[in-house]
A and B are shown apart, each in its own frame.
Chain A
Amino acid sequence: MNLYIKTYRHLINPSPMIDGKEYLTSVYRSLGIDYPKFFKMDNLSKLGFLASELIFKDDPSRFVPREDLAVIGFNRSASLEADTAYQATIQDNKNYFPSPAAFVYTLPNIVTGEIAIRNKFYGETSFYISEQFDAEQIFRTVNHAFQDKKTRSVLAAWIESFDGTQEVFMMLVETETSEIPFSIKQINKIMNN
């Protein structure tokens, strides 16, 4: 099956000196969005959310429910950043107050759910962990998603937020012909640009 990258976005926090939360909030503000739930999300979900906003903000048919669109995420550090934040709330026996709001983000696939909820995507959602960015794995996994009879679009993203790194590379892959073919070479090219 021939697949194409309809559009993509690549966001990177430009400096480890910039506080991750501040960086993400500044991108959110620049988009002029009104979605208070954003502030409750962990950084991983915020990254994925912002990239998806950039991809879909000008789509005239946005928010029309779609069952043919899958959301697939990939990264290296899973939800370790959120795990650490939650751990901090249960570390001290004398100050033991587990935070429910922190706990709900202690799974990396929550970001795919946040994007699906926001955009009314009712297709498959999944999340994969690998040692490093792996274009071949992304290519293979996205191709597999198209093997059912339902999926016509896949929103695929490498989303990493841990230890000073904040990066999201998100692409909308479709069966409909467009300028950029979906290939391992193209995925690497865009990622390394």
Chain B
Amino acid sequence: MDELILKLKGEIIEVLNLEDLQPEDIADDAPLFGEGLGLDSIDALELIVLLEKNYGIKLTDPAQGREIFQSIRVLADYIQANRKK
């Protein structure tokens, strides 16, 4: 799981152009939206694309995204349980 969390942090930094951040700057349990990384709605869409492109997970229900994108750890758990790639 730790390996997936680290990989995910790198992917998020790259795909969301979080240029000033390193993986170690992102806490596993920090909120991705709001006070945490301060991501916005376009970032949420990019994360949905990332899930499909890199892990074969297709999200169709927006409410599901709200749950999954709570933190890196929650996201990693979801990927672990549902990945097709």
A residues near B (Cβ < 8 Å) are: 25, 36, 39-40, 97-101, 104
Contact = CB atoms under 8 A, between A and B. Distances in A.
Given A100-B42, A101-B42, A104-B42, A36 B49 contact: no
A104 B43 CA distance: 11
Contact of A40 (B16, B52, B53): B16
Contacts of B38: 36
B19 A36 contact: yes
B30 interface: no
The 3 closest A-B pairs by CB, nearest first: A100-B45, A39-B19, A39-B17
A contact patch SS: helix
Contacts of B49: 97-100
Interface string B31-56: 00000001000110110010011000
Interface residues of B, number: 14
9 contacts: A36-B18, A39-B17, A39-B19, A97-B49, A99-B46, A99-B49, A100-B42, A100-B49, A101-B17
B9 to A, nearest CB: 16
A148 to B, nearest CB: 32
Contacts of B17: 39-40, 101
B20 interface: yes
B contact patch SS: helix
A36 B38 CA distance: 10
Contacts of A98: 49
A105 to B, nearest CB: 10
Nearest to A104: B42
Contacts of B53: 97
A36 B20 contact: yes
A165 B53 CA distance: 32
Contacts of A39: 17-20
A25 B20 CA distance: 11
A25 B53 CA distance: 28
A40 B21 CA distance: 13
A46 B43 CA distance: 18
Nearest to A95: B53
Given A100-B42, A100-B46, A101-B43, 5 more contacts: A36-B18, A36-B19, A39-B19, A97-B49, A100-B45
Nearest to B44: A100
Nearest to A102: B46
Interface string B1-43: 0000000000000011111100000000000000000100011
